[in-house]
């Protein structure tokens, strides 16, 4: 049986426990036979993958690579993934460039050496970079099996700084947040935005997000919000607000008010 992360309680207490024990738990998770054997197979066979056809045929390595980019649900969509990679990213009309989910573009960029006629080779650090991404995302997924809020918090820690670095303009960064479903969920929950927020024009959503983040966290852009101290505040507020929303669903308004007053 593979190692399962231990999260004895939700909310802020559970988050504190996870952070305190994360290094030890992640090491135990990575050392479990299922993860260890998948990584060993991937490392041994990566050099033999020289085309997108090779990639899809080696299902085990294919699964490791997709998981490294958070795309494990596409394991049975080999033709689609081949199209993503073979199209590349240089043409504005390439499939990866037309999708709002930027994970596909990252995959196409990193595996561009697999396209027919490519004169490039795999970057020297790519194999170990994919292995590291596979480990971290697999651990996050295992955490999510225990508590989805914790998984989204871990993903935010990993992805928000990269998102900020990956887009030059402030508006592009905000649009990228809206296009990232887990990150969007964290933002909407932490800021207490209503369901009607999603019905707004996307430009108005950005305006609303900027205003709410500035008012709640006293920062003017995502660069500042991605700083560790501010990101910690964002995550903690997300966890608290998520618990409150869960209480509101399962309890009457009067019961929620009484519970909060007792804290």
* Banded model confidence at residue 224, pLDDT cuts 50, 70, 90: very high
At 254 the pLDDT is 62
Residues 182 and 255 in one domain: yes
- Containing domain of residue 53, as a range? 11-130
Residues 66 and 105 in one domain: yes
Among 113, 118, 132, smallest CA distance to 49 is for: 113
11 torsion bin: left (phi>0), alpha (psi -120 to 50), beta (else) = left
Q: Compute the mean pLDDT over every residue in the chain, rounded to the nearest whole number.
A: 91
Q: What tokens does 32 get?
A: 């479990």
For residue 115, is it within any domain? Answer: yes
At 60 the pLDDT is 97
- Cα(153)–Cα(165) distance, rounded to whole angstroms? 19
Residues 166 and 249 in one domain: yes
Q: How many domains does one find in the chain?
A: 2
- pLDDT tens, position by position, 23-67: 999 999 999 999 999 999 999 999 999 999 999 999 999 999 999
For residue 140, is it within any domain? Answer: no
Considering 100, 130, 160, which residue would you say is the last residue of a domain? 130
- pLDDT tens, position by position, 102-152: 899 999 999 999 998 887 888 899 999 999 999 999 999 999 999 999 999
At 3 the pLDDT is 82
Considering 130, 156, 171, which residue would you say is the last residue of a domain? 130
């Amino acid at each position: 049986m593979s190692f399962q992360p231990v999260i004895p309680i939700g909310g802020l207490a559970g988050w504190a426990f996870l952070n305190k024990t994360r290094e030890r738990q992640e090491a135990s998770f990575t050392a479990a036979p299922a993860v260890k054997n998948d990584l060993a197979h991937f490392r041994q066979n990566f050099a033999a993958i020289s085309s997108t056809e090779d990639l899809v045929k080696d299902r085990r390595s294919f699964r490791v690579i997709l998981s490294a980019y958070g795309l494990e649900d596409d394991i049975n969509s080999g033709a689609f993934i081949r199209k993503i990679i073979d199209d590349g990213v240089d043409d504005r009309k390439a499939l990866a460039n037309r999708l709002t989910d930027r994970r596909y573009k990252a995959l196409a960029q990193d595996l561009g050496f697999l396209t027919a006629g490519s004169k490039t080779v795999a970057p020297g650090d790519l194999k170990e970079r994919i292995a590291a991404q596979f480990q971290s995302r697999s651990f996050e997924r295992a955490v999510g099996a225990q508590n989805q809020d914790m998984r989204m918090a871990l993903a935010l820690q990993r992805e928000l700084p990269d998102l900020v670095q990956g887009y030059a303009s402030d508006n592009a960064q905000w649009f990228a947040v809206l296009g990232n479903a887990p990150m969007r969920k964290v933002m909407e929950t932490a800021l207490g935005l209503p369901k009607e927020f999603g019905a707004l024009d996307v430009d108005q959503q950005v305006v609303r997000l900027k205003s709410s983040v500035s008012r709640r966290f006293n920062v003017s852009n995502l660069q500042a919000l991605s700083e560790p101290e501010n990101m910690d505040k964002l995550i903690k507020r997300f966890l608290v607000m998520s618990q409150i929303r869960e209480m509101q669903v399962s309890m009457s308004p009067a019961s929620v008010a009484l519970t909060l007053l007792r804290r």
